[in-house]
Structure 1
Amino acid sequence: MQRIALHTRLRPGSESEYDDVHASIPAELATAIRAAGVHGWWIWRDGPDLFHLVEVEDYQRMRHALREHPANVAWQARMAPLLDVPDDYSGTDSGLPLVWALPAERDGAIR
């Protein structure tokens, strides 16, 4: 399982619309994302900056699986006008590099 952190940025003034669109994503998109190996996807927003945490079996495989999936193509077309740099799923990015982590405690010991 991989945990991938991502950063994207909204175009100025599109914050409210972005939030509204994400209030409910299409069921077929959620199904496609899960079928591509995603176990969880969280997005936080600070003004125009978006921070994503993705728990996925294989990030590169997920990106490849969703690149041409009709539900994702439609979603990316909907998101493109809201994003500073639209995602076309053609890259080989691996997310943000991890700088530091506080491991979870187990049985009173940090591991």
Structure 2
Amino acid sequence: MQKIAFKMRIKPGMKEEYRKRHTAIWPELVALLKESGISDYTIFLDEASNTLFAVQRLTGNSSQDLGETEVVQRWWAYMADIMETNADYSPVSVPLEQVFHLD
């Protein structure tokens, strides 16, 4: 199992809308994430910078590019009005390097 961390950004003033949409995350998206080996997925917000910090556990060697699935593309489009996104509506995401872990 590997742990993956990355950061994204929401637009100013969008914290509650971001929270609301994730509280009602689509069941088909949850199922896809779990089927792809993603678990223990948590997102934190640094309100001072509107930076989201996400960490997830990935089991196995998932070779499926989730961004190519219809449900993920719909989710990206749904979230595009409240996040910084690329031209294809995928969130601008920066991978983070692990520099310490206490087990």
TM-score range, shorter chain: 0.7 to 0.9
Counterparts of 1:40-55 in structure 2, within 5 Å, are 40-47=40-47, 48-55=50-57
Superposition TM-score, scaled by structure 1 size: 0.75
CA shift for structure 1 position 60: 6.7
Task: Name the structure 2 match of 1:88.
Answer: 90
Root mean square deviation of aligned Cα: 2.3
CA shift for structure 1 position 51: 0.8
Contact 2:36 2:62 in 1 (8 A): no
Task: Name the structure 1 match of 2:63.
Answer: 61
Contact 1:2 1:59 in 2 (8 A): no
Task: Name the structure 2 match of 1:7.
Answer: 7
> Which shows bigger deviation, 78-87 or 46-55?
78-87
Alpha-carbon spacing, 1:59–1:82, altered in 2? closer, same or farther (3 Å)? farther
**Structure 2: gaps (5+ residues):** none
The list of structure 1 runs, each at least 4 consecutive aligned residues, that deviate by more than 6 angstroms after superposition, is none
**Structure 1: gaps (5+ residues):** 105-111
1:35 aligns to 2:35 (yes or no): yes
Superposition TM-score, scaled by structure 2 size: 0.81
* 1:32-81 deviations in Å (ceiling 9; x for gaps): 1111111221111121111111101257735x1x1121211111111111
Structure richer in helix, relative to its length: 1
Distance (whole Å) between structure 2 residues aligned to residue 49 and residue 15 of structure 1: 10
Instruction: Report the count of equivalent residues.
Output: 98
User: Percent sequence identity over matched residues?
Assistant: 28
1:78 aligns to 2:78 (yes or no): yes
> Which is greater in Rg?
1
